[in-house]
Chain A
Amino acid sequence: MTDTHTDTTVELPHHPSPRAAGCPFDPPPALHALQIDKPLTRVRIWDGSSPWLVTRYDHVRTLLGDPRVSAEATRPGFPHRSAGQQASNRARRTFLNMDDPEHARIRRMVTAPFAVKRVEALRPSIQKIIDDLIDQMLAGPKPVDLVQAFALPVPSLVICELLGVPYEDHDLFQRNTKVIVKRDSTPEEVLAATTVLADYLEDLLAAKQVRPEEDLLSELVTKRVATGEMTLRDAAHMSVLLLGAGHETTANMIALGTLALLENPDQLALLRTADDPKVVAGAVEELLRYLNVTHSGRRRVAREDIEIGGEVIRAGEGIIFANEIANRDPEAFAGNPDELDLTRDARRHVAFGYGVHQCLGQPLARVELQAVYSTLYRRIPTLALATGIDQLEFKHDGFVYGVYELPVTW
């Protein structure tokens, strides 16, 4: 019997592959080639296993929408991102790694505050957070690192307010989140960071049991823990997910998005002079598509045999979805998909994933990004990179792509 997961005799392309030097916004060239020549292929990953890699837009949507494709990370064959992630997936289960109907039941416990109208109502307070941070930046010395001064605090302040987490503690959760999203963190480091975060949030939840406030964590304890639907520890793990999920993603969209716009001055000009909120909203979708910061792929495992594109994915085989290249698929996006074109209709992108796990926080992320992109470059029209783009360090080793620092001046 041959076990395809441990068969190391076949030469398979290694995944992930590197991006091309000098093309920090483009997915690795190897993914381009695979999308054309072998859109459904086996690849070799860090642990020697050989999951499928899906690179075409229509395949990505079909499979991510297929209930036979499981997000359950405890199933054998699930293609973990790293040893650290494997350990943390084992240590804590959240709805991110559950299948329906369990996933739907738990996700629905927290969908209410992310509804479009509830998020729209937060727009003024989000705008104020952004304006205040820009005021502080303008009053301070330059050059300044846009990541620390702006890109990270925006989503952090917003999600803290929504969850009811004191922002004063941001050092603790940003430091630990950093460990969790790094590919080369060891299992011990990831587990330790996860435990610190879960303990911290469990204490906070317990305090809110006694004195509930107007926030999501209070709602969780009074409506779900009190009724016995959820244990306090499960609520803490879920809170870690909610606190972390919107941090790195949105922060990297802000910093990397700013860099992409500075490198494409005509596009930046378009955004700076746009008066129509629809133009700004369209620009956000295009930047999400073009940058697709969650570059470590959606990870799944087949629970049954699945026939697709002339191949058969067998039950128990892992599947990695390279949405960053699906978002560049010429079959799905008109014109030249490798170009940043803020006027493109990019709404069908898969930067928030697809299927039942599609981003829960997307209405919030959209409002944050719309407010950021329509404010930052208007208030600081001379914003410029304070160093050469070749001096920047990109997060090649992160589960979420971006820049570690973005020194800017004006």
Chain B
Amino acid sequence: MRVTVDQPKCVASGQCVMLAPEVFDQDDDGIVDLLTAAPAPEHHDGVRESAAVCPAAAIHLADR
């Protein structure tokens, strides 16, 4: 799984940080920070859920 985030679109909802804190963080302004683009398999579910709930559609996933 490859993860990319679109920071200009992020609205700082914090949902991804709650669902997959190992993969997503927020910067000083609350905007998403990607901790790893290739998360470990045990975090895939949280990442998928994050992409599904992200209100700004700012999280993109690719299988690889």
A binds B: yes
Query: Is residue A34 contacting chain B, with contact meaning CB distance below 8 A?
Result: no
Provide the residues of chain B in CB contact with A111, threshold 8 Å: 11-12, 29-31
Provide the residues of chain B in CB contact with A65, threshold 8 Å: 55-57
Q: Which of A112, A119, A358, A363 contacts B11 (CB 8 A)?
A: A358
Residues 1-34 of chain B, each 1 if its beta carbon lies under 8 Å from chain A, else 0: 0000000100111110111000001101111000
Provide the residues of chain A in CB contact with B28, threshold 8 Å: 112
Question: Is the beta-carbon distance between A112 and B29 smaller than 8 angstroms?
Answer: yes
Residues 41-57 of chain B, each 1 if its beta carbon lies under 8 Å from chain A, else 0: 00000000100110111
Residues 103-123 of chain A, each 1 if its beta carbon lies under 8 Å from chain B, else 0: 010011001101111010000
Q: What's the least CB distance linking B53 to chain A, in Å? A: 6
Residues 324-366 of chain A, each 1 if its beta carbon lies under 8 Å from chain B, else 0: 0000000000000000000000011000111111111011001
Question: Is the beta-carbon distance between B55 and A348 smaller than 8 angstroms?
Answer: no
Q: For the complex, what is the distance from the CA of A348 to the CA of B51, rounded to whole Å?
A: 11
Provide the residues of chain A in CB contact with B29, threshold 8 Å: 108, 111-112
Q: What's the least CB distance linking B43 to chain A, in Å? A: 16
Question: Is the beta-carbon distance between B14 and A112 smaller than 8 angstroms?
Answer: no
From known contacts A108-B29, A115-B30, infer whether A358 and B14 are also in contact, taking CB-CB under 8 Å: no
Q: Which of A116, A348, A360 contacts B26 (CB 8 A)?
A: A116
By beta carbon, the residue of chain B nearest A114 is B30
Q: What's the least CB distance linking B19 to chain A, in Å? A: 8
Q: For the complex, what is the distance from the CA of A115 to the CA of B30, rounded to whole Å?
A: 5
Provide the residues of chain A in CB contact with B53, threshold 8 Å: 347-348
> Could you tell me how many residues of chain B have their Cβ less than 8 Å away from some Cβ of chain A?
21
A residues 110-141 near B (Cβ < 8 Å) are: 111-112, 114-117, 119
> Could you tell me how many residues of chain A have their Cβ less than 8 Å away from some Cβ of chain B?
25
Provide the residues of chain A in CB contact with B56, threshold 8 Å: 65, 355-356, 358
Q: What's the least CB distance linking A167 to chain B, in Å? A: 25
Q: What's the least CB distance linking A339 to chain B, in Å? A: 22
Question: Is the beta-carbon distance between A108 and B55 smaller than 8 angstroms?
Answer: no
Q: For the complex, what is the distance from the CA of A342 to the CA of B34, rounded to whole Å?
A: 31
Q: For the complex, what is the distance from the CA of A104 to the CA of B13, rounded to whole Å?
A: 12
By beta carbon, the residue of chain A nearest B49 is A347
Residues 364-395 of chain A, each 1 if its beta carbon lies under 8 Å from chain B, else 0: 00100000000000000000000000000000
Q: What's the least CB distance linking B17 to chain A, in Å? A: 4
Question: Is the beta-carbon distance between A353 and B49 smaller than 8 angstroms?
Answer: no
Q: What's the least CB distance linking A261 to chain B, in Å? A: 23
From known contacts A111-B30, A112-B29, A114-B30, infer whether A363 and B57 are also in contact, taking CB-CB under 8 Å: no
Q: Which of A353, A354, A362 contacts B14 (CB 8 A)?
A: A362
Question: Is the beta-carbon distance between A356 and B26 smaller than 8 angstroms?
Answer: no
By beta carbon, the residue of chain A nearest B52 is A348
Provide the residues of chain B in CB contact with A362, threshold 8 Å: 13-15
Question: Is the beta-carbon distance between A108 and B12 smaller than 8 angstroms?
Answer: yes
Question: Is the beta-carbon distance between A354 and B55 smaller than 8 angstroms?
Answer: yes
Question: Is the beta-carbon distance between B14 and A108 smaller than 8 angstroms?
Answer: no
By beta carbon, the residue of chain A nearest B12 is A111
From known contacts A108-B31, A347-B49, infer whether A114 and B12 are also in contact, taking CB-CB under 8 Å: yes
Q: For the complex, what is the distance from the CA of A52 to the CA of B9, rounded to whole Å?
A: 27
A–B complex contacts, Cβ < 8 Å, 22 sampled: A104-B8, A108-B29, A111-B11, A111-B30, A112-B28, A114-B12, A114-B30, A115-B12, A115-B14, A115-B26, A115-B30, A116-B14, A116-B17, A117-B17, A117-B25, A347-B19, A347-B49, A348-B52, A354-B55, A358-B11, A358-B55, A359-B13
- Interface residues, chain B, CB within 8 Å of chain A? 8, 11-15, 17-19, 25-26, 28-31, 49, 52-53, 55-57
Question: A65-B55, A347-B19, A352-B13 given. 13 additional CB < 8 A pairs?
Answer: A65-B57, A111-B11, A112-B28, A112-B29, A115-B14, A347-B49, A354-B55, A355-B56, A356-B11, A356-B56, A358-B13, A362-B14, A366-B18
Question: Which 9 residue pairs across A and B have the least CB separation, nearest first?
Answer: A111-B30, A358-B55, A111-B12, A115-B30, A116-B14, A116-B17, A115-B26, A363-B14, A356-B11
